[in-house]
Amino acid sequence: MGILTVVLWSCSGQRVSPPWDSPAISNQEHQRGLVFIHTGSSLYSLPCSPAEMEVANVTYHWVQDKAVPKRFSVTREGHLLFRHFQASYSGMYSCTISYMKQGVPVSQTFHYSIFGYHVLGGLDILLLFHSKLCEDKLSRWFIRSLHNKLMLLKIEQHFQLQTISTFCFPPPHTSSDEFIFQVQLEVSLFGPHWDEDCNPQDTATLTDCYHTTVQHNI
């Protein structure tokens, strides 16, 4: 009985490992670039892999580079889900997908650089009310009442609101007994949970949500 010996060489003269000497585990690293998330986003969802993978029994593992309390959750599909994203959540995130391929453990790791941003600007609103009196006690009561009503609107429409100043003065160039009570407000259109009606899995829908939010809140 003859013995068949197989020796593999590369063109450079170096020995090539045969298939049965292949490593038992396959690891791949992928750099996915930058991801920008608007601060205040409540349902931003980032998939572990940029493409759907047709494999069974997949496990997902997300890690963050900072030694801080966990600020995210992972969905069953392996998506990274932020709740009320803050600029301080920015940093390097990595997701490892692990599965079996033809009996061999396989893992792929995807690296993301995540940055929080905020759309500057908003609305400067000046409210003018007519009053028979201009007393401090009455002014404080009116401001409290107005503030409570605006807080309900703020919760409903998910904007941020700040009272800049209040001022009571007689109308110019008139002899009327009425006074003018002025309230200046600063409004940001992107308050907490501004995107709760958006679909976090759909980038196109999320983009449209910016325009809808602005138009609705204005």
User: Which letter does DSSP use for residue 15 in this model?
Assistant: B
Q: Are residues 153 and 183 in the same domain?
A: yes
pLDDT at 112: 92
pLDDT digits (tens, 9 = 90+) for 105-134: 898 899 999 988 877 667 888 989 888 888
Q: Are residues 112 and 195 in the same domain?
A: no
What is the band of 9 on the pLDDT scale with cuts at 50, 70, 90? Answer: very low
The answer to whether residue 5 sits within a structural domain is no
Cα gap 73→195, rounded to integer Å:
18
Query: What average pLDDT does the segment 42-53 reach?
Result: 78
Q: Are residues 112 and 129 in the same domain?
A: no
pLDDT digits (tens, 9 = 90+) for 130-156: 888 888 888 888 888 988 888 888 888
Q: Are residues 130 and 108 in the same domain?
A: no
Indicate the residue among 117, 137, 157 that finishes a domain: 117
Q: Are residues 130 and 189 in the same domain?
A: yes
Mean pLDDT of the chain: 76
Residues 81, 42: contact at Cβ < 8 Å? no
- Domain containing 213 equals 123-217
The answer to whether residue 7 sits within a structural domain is no
Indicate the residue among 117, 141, 164 that finishes a domain: 117
Q: Are residues 167 and 82 in the same domain?
A: no
Could you tell me the CA-to-CA distances from 185 to 55, 96, 170 in Å, in that order? 54, 47, 21
The answer to whether residue 151 sits within a structural domain is yes
Number of domains in the chain: 2
Q: Are residues 54 and 128 in the same domain?
A: no
- pLDDT(165) > 80: yes
pLDDT at 8: 32
pLDDT at 163: 76
The answer to whether residue 6 sits within a structural domain is no
Q: Are residues 207 and 138 in the same domain?
A: yes
- Residue 68 burial (CB < 10 Å; 0-12/13-18/19+)? exposed
Cα gap 171→180, rounded to integer Å:
6
Q: Are residues 180 and 159 in the same domain?
A: yes
Can you give 42-76 as a three-state secondary structure string? CCCEECCCCCCCCCCCCEEEEEECCCCCCCEEECC
Indicate the residue among 88, 117, 146 that finishes a domain: 117
pLDDT at 198: 65
Taking the model in full, what pTM does it have? Answer: 0.56
Q: Are residues 92 and 113 in the same domain?
A: yes
- If one counts every other C-beta atom within 10 angstroms of the C-beta of residue 31, the result is 9
Q: Are residues 103 and 127 in the same domain?
A: no
The answer to whether residue 143 sits within a structural domain is yes
